[in-house]
A and B are shown apart, each in its own frame.
Chain A
Amino acid sequence: DTEVTQTPKHLVMGMTNKKSLKCEQHMGHRAMYWYKQKAKKPPELMFVYSYEKLSINESVPSRFSPECPNSSLLNLHLHALQPEDSALYLCASSPMGQEMNTGELFFGEGSRLTVL
Chain B
Amino acid sequence: AQSVTQLGSHVSVSEGALVLLRCNYSSSVPPYLFWYVQYPNQGLQLLLKYTSAATLVKGINGFEAEFKKSETSFHLTKPSAHMSDAAEYFCAVSGGNNRLAFGKGNQVVVIP
Write the residues of chain A forming the contact surface with B, with a CB cutoff of 8 angstroms.
Answer: 2, 4, 6, 31, 40-43, 45, 48, 50, 56, 88, 90, 92, 94, 96, 100-110, 112
Given known pairs A109-B42, A112-B41, the reply for A101 and B107 (CB within 8 Å) is no
Distance in Å from the Cβ of B55 to the closest Cβ of chain A? Answer: 15
- Set of chain A residues within 8 Å of B51, measured between Cβ atoms: 100, 102
The 10 closest A-B pairs by CB, nearest first: A103-B94, A42-B102, A107-B43, A102-B32, A107-B44, A109-B43, A110-B43, A102-B51, A108-B43, A31-B98
* Contact-size category for B: 20 to 34
Distance in Å from the Cβ of A97 to the closest Cβ of chain B? Answer: 10
A105 CA to B45 CA, complexed, in Å: 9
Please, what's the 1-or-0 string for B21-42, where 1 marks a CB less than 8 Å from any CB in chain A?
0000000000010101000011
A101 CA to B100 CA, complexed, in Å: 12
Interface status of B79 (Cβ within 8 A of chain A): no
Distance in Å from the Cβ of A2 to the closest Cβ of chain B? Answer: 6
Q: Are A45 and B94 in touch, CB under 8 angstroms?
A: no
Distance in Å from the Cβ of B51 to the closest Cβ of chain A? Answer: 5
- For window 59-112 of B, CB contacts with A under 8 Å fall at 88, 90, 94-100, 102-105, 107
With A108-B43, A109-B42 already in contact, 6 other A-B pairs whose C-beta atoms are closer than 8 Å: A41-B105, A43-B102, A90-B44, A94-B98, A104-B46, A110-B43
Q: Are A105 and B42 in touch, CB under 8 angstroms?
A: no
Distance in Å from the Cβ of B87 to the closest Cβ of chain A? Answer: 12
Q: Are B107 and A40 in touch, CB under 8 angstroms?
A: yes
A110 CA to B42 CA, complexed, in Å: 7
Of B45, B96, B99, B100, chain A has the most CB atoms within 10 Å of the CB of B100
A56 CA to B100 CA, complexed, in Å: 13
Distance in Å from the Cβ of A52 to the closest Cβ of chain B? Answer: 14
- Set of chain A residues within 8 Å of B88, measured between Cβ atoms: 40
Q: Are A105 and B104 in touch, CB under 8 angstroms?
A: no
A92 CA to B45 CA, complexed, in Å: 11
